Chain A
Amino acid sequence: YLHVALLFWQQVILCHCTLDDLRVDGRSCEDYRYVEVETDVVSNTSGSARVKLGHTDILVGIKAEIGRPKLDRPNKGCLEFFVDCSANATPEFEGRGGEELGTEIANALYRVYDNERSVDLKSLCITPMEHCWILYTDVLLLQCDGNLFDAISLAIKAALLTPSKIPKVQMMEDEEGTTEIELSDDPFDCVRLNTENVPCIVTLCKIGQRHVVDATLQEKACSVASLLVSVTSKGTITCVRKIGGGSLDPESIYEMIETGKRVGKALHAPLQDILNKEESLGKSREKVGFIG
């Protein structure tokens, strides 16, 4: 039965996509679904955000902790990613079921974010070789309805962009020459991360002869393969990656990169607007969270 249903959808989706610029839910090939973003939803994190993209529901929490810099980059801080595919999303993720998908997504996130070009890692360094801030970025998948990468990247960008509660630190040296880290007493005395170059991910799904952005689960099932493109607000491409089985011809990859660049660049401005609006409201903002 499921197979038949899928075949039916496949036909419908293929027809629509190839014939005209219209998809099953009425969107054009370069349209996103309705997106909801809310920041600062979990109060004991340095930054957090919840993103709803269609039925896909993502919660990201970032915790800043002091640790040791990695050996290969002694004067930089780092980001650590962990993706928890919780059983909330689907019973298949119960126990260790979601681990494989979680690792795959986390690895892609390392490629996209954990480098000097995307995040200003130097500002996360406290003392070279000894202390740096490690941003533990934990992603929680609450509901999956396709296009996880884009939703996660929006949530990560939003969580990084919020006035992160990374306290200012000072190095104190006493007479014996031992150094001590002193955190600022004022909770509002925080460092704000430069997030100008933090990219957003756009996943393009190749369906028939065309490619679509923000594919739903059904569309994903009909696609041959997809291409992940990460784009900064200036339109610079920082990462390209093919995901899923199937192969793509170089010609279509160029086309997809071009679309990804255009769509990705346009994605940044509205996100920034939402975040600015939230910040300007400050404490008076009514927190919605999961209520309402």
Chain B
Amino acid sequence: MAGIELLSDQGYRVDGRKPNELRKIQARMGVFSQADGSAYIEQGNTKALAVVYGPHEIRGSRSKSQHDRAIINCQYSMATFSTGERKRRPHGDRKSSEMTLHLKQTFEAAILTQLYPRSQIDIYVQILQADGGNYSACVNAATLAVVDAGIPLRDYVCACSAGFVEDTPLVDLSHLEESAGGTQLSLAVLPKAEHLALIEMDSRLHQDHLESMMDAATQACKDLYAVLDRVVRDHLQEVTTSIGE
């Protein structure tokens, strides 16, 4: 795309970040009292809410039930006012269904489902404001919500996107950078073991560059892990003090 210079000669991006710099992250756990777990995250201007219900008895048809593990049920939806142009439906379109599936697969890899046979865990995520990196914001919010619900995880799941501009990998893409139409890589990582829970790349990239892009994205996920861990610890501190009072 002509016109926008995504990376300046001095090595700064459009919003002034360095190539390997994340946007500002603010998060909170326990936003809602009725759900079993909930969390809210802001990554730059992307805002996402996640709510967890369960583990509980399987709703609907019992045939879905697994005798040796819990099933994970997800729904990804975007508020109709979240995008620049108004969306007609919050969920149910092809893109949201795909996101739902991705989320489900990601969390099946992370949650210790074998601890809850014949039950179900619901994870509902909602994008309130979209500015790039919707999938990663959702995964990060959902991780916090699952932790808030007290469901055992193998490890945190941290997700981040990465792009590739002028031989430099950029991490945590904003909407502007996403819509410029370059290569985009979404990565969900279990940071301690460095396992990948999800990897998805669209459009082509020279194989030689793949490694540097993966490294940048993995590092970004690890940076995110540090932030999420801080949020969880701060939240626990807050809760324990309030119980102690």
Contacts and interface: CB of A to CB of B under 8 A. Distances in A.
Contacts of A94: 73, 75, 122, 124
A84 B90 contact: yes
Interface string A264-292: 00000000000000000000000001111
Interface string B107-119: 0000000000000
Given A87-B77, A88-B126, A94-B122, A44 B34 contact: no
A153 B177 CA distance: 38
Contacts of A88: 32, 35, 38, 49, 51, 124, 126
B81 A44 contact: yes
Given A94-B75, A94-B122, A291 B82 contact: no
A290 B80 contact: no
B48 to A, nearest CB: 10
A45 B80 CA distance: 10
A90 B59 CA distance: 13
Contact of B129 (A42, A86, A292): A42
Contacts of A96: 92
Given A94-B75, A136-B86, A138-B80, A87 B122 contact: yes
Contacts of A140: 79, 90, 126, 128
A65 interface: yes
B16 interface: no
Contacts of A138: 79-81, 86
A63 interface: yes
Interface stretch (A9-17, A54-62, A187-195): A54-62
**Range for the number of chain B residues in contact with chain A:** 20 to 34
A84 B124 CA distance: 14
Interface string B84-101: 101000101000000000
Contacts of A61: 79-82
**Range for the number of chain A residues in contact with chain B:** 20 to 34
Interface in B38-81: 38, 40, 42, 45, 47, 49, 51, 53, 59, 73, 75, 77, 79-81
B235 interface: no
Contact of B32 (A57, A65, A82): A57
A44 B77 contact: no
Contacts of B32: 55, 57, 88, 142-143
Given A42-B47, A42-B129, A57-B32, A86 B53 contact: no
Shortest 8 CB-CB contacts between residues of A and residues of B: A61-B81, A290-B40, A87-B124, A138-B80, A88-B51, A84-B90, A63-B86, A138-B81
Interface of A: 42-45, 48, 55, 57, 59, 61-63, 65, 82, 84, 86-91, 94-96, 136, 138, 140, 142-143, 145, 289-292
Interface of B: 26-28, 31-35, 38, 40, 42, 45, 47, 49, 51, 53, 59, 73, 75, 77, 79-84, 86, 90, 92, 122, 124, 126, 128-129
